[in-house]
Amino acid sequence: MTGPFIRNRKLQMLLVAMGTAVAGEFKINPFDGDIFRIALGSSAFLLFLLLLRHLPCLKTGILTGIVVLLFRVALDTIWPHHHPVLQSFCNHLSAGVYYVAFGAGLQYVRRLDHVHPLLLGGAAACIDFISNEAELLTRMLVLGTSSFHLNEWTYLSFIAVLRTYFTTGLYSSIAVSRMRAVQAEQKRRVDQMLSFGAGLYGEVFYLRKSVHTVERLTAASYELYQRLKDSGQQDYSRRLLDITQQIHEVKKDSQRILAGLLKLSEMDSADADMPLPRLMDFLVKSNSEYASMLGKDVTFRQDVSPEYRTPRYIPLLTLLNNLVANAVEAIEHKGVIMLQVYEAGGRTVFVVQDNGRGINERDHEIVFEPGFTTKFDEEGSAATGIGLSHVRDITVSLGGSILVRTPSKGKGTVFEVSIPTISLKRGE
């Protein structure tokens, strides 16, 4: 398992070394001759090791020093002056030492990449300066060259600071871009989980309600069994007992499923919350996509004044998403949906208004009853009609109320959900 990873890491180290060697040929010579060169090699090497954090700095520095030395010797011997191999080796040995020293220093500098870029650049500049000194010392020992004058040292220090800060600035820009990409991906996944959580909450809500219904049915069935048995109707009582046992099995299976779904959805968890503006933004985003899927041109408008955070965002999202999706479906081709949230009298009011085909006022009293629907498919079959009854039940479970009315202009529908603010705010 570790074999391919190690081989891949060695290949990456070799690519870093080769890239540094090539970058090192883009250079300037601040002093007379070609003895000391200021090139892009060190900048490229620093950038590579900051980006590829899994690579060992010292080993990569040693490999880079060897590759840079061999690369420059090869260039000198074949083009353009055909220097003797030994002379070229002595001339460029100090460059190899520079990268070994740079890699050794970067083992400590790279640990600082989470601090301010100015500190990172300053630490890298110090390592660059020390590596330059190691290169000069090697050159003095091998070639017998003299040390630089003070003004030349000052110039080299300036160059070290300039190129390290440029490199760390470039690295910081790349890191910020990566972070933004990661945040965008995380946001996309959170949105997916919110959609999943809202849908799951609705299913769990009705499954819990069904379990309670089955429990009552089981108790009523067993009570009737006892009455039949006491009245001497043995055949009917025995058949009813069998039915009661089957109902009881259904109840147990439903309870097991409900327990698993409750654990999965973590509906009762108070570890997370969401600000109301964020919740409304999600509603607009998801239903804008839904409208586009239906081929409708729907404009969403928001007016959200409360900004508190709520741990009850999943049930809120479930009921509001149902209302907004219904509003999208009620619009024929092009329309506007207005979402409004405000506080009044200790309650938080959520208003969803559309300018679609609307609901007849005579149906306002029965619109929340199970089975009521105004939706029919292309074959004329009615929808299940459980959506608005679902919304009402969730609203009631939060201690709230819901009403439907026709706008003053007489076109479209307004749904108004009013919930006690104290039941929505965290810690209250």
One-letter identity of residue 285: K
Query: Domain extents for the chain?
Result: 2-147, 188-265, 274-423
Indicate the SS3 state at residue 39: strand
Residue 7, C-beta contacts closer than 8 angstroms, at least 6 positions apart? none
Determine the Cα–Cα distance for residues 413 and 403; give it in Å rounded to an integer.
Answer: 11
The DSSP output letter for 376 is B
The pair of three-digit structure tokens given for residue 421, joined into one six-digit string: 């603010």
Answer CATH for 274-423 from 3.40.50.150, 3.30.565.10, 1.20.950.20, 3.40.309.10: 3.30.565.10
pTM of the predicted model, to two decimals? Answer: 0.53
Return the pLDDT at 378: 44
Determine the Cα–Cα distance for residues 50 and 10; give it in Å rounded to an integer.
Answer: 17
Determine the Cα–Cα distance for residues 424 and 199; give it in Å rounded to an integer.
Answer: 20
Tokens 């030395």 found at: 69
Return the pLDDT at 380: 37
Return the pLDDT at 62: 92
**CB atoms near residue 381 (< 10 Å):** 8
Q: Which of 307, 244, 300 is nearest to 273 (CA)?
A: 307
Determine the Cα–Cα distance for residues 69 and 61; give it in Å rounded to an integer.
Answer: 12
Determine the Cα–Cα distance for residues 404 and 412; give it in Å rounded to an integer.
Answer: 11
Determine the Cα–Cα distance for residues 280 and 285; give it in Å rounded to an integer.
Answer: 9
Return the pLDDT at 38: 64
In contact, 24 and 70? CB cutoff 8 Å: no
Partners of 92 in the beta sheet?
A: none
Return the pLDDT at 386: 47
Per-residue pLDDT of the chain (428 residues; tens, 9 = 90+): 445 544 588 889 999 999 998 888 876 665 555 545 567 888 889 889 888 888 888 899 999 999 999 998 888 877 666 678 888 888 888 889 999 998 988 887 766 556 677 777 888 888 888 888 888 788 888 877 765 555 556 766 777 787 788 787 888 788 778 777 777 776 677 666 666 666 666 667 667 667 777 777 878 887 887 888 788 888 887 888 788 778 777 777 777 776 766 666 654 444 468 889 988 998 898 899 889 988 999 999 999 999 898 888 888 888 898 899 889 988 988 999 999 999 998 999 999 999 888 887 777 777 777 655 555 444 433 344 347 887 888 899 889 999 988 886 768 889 999 999 998 985 44
**CB atoms near residue 225 (< 10 Å):** 20
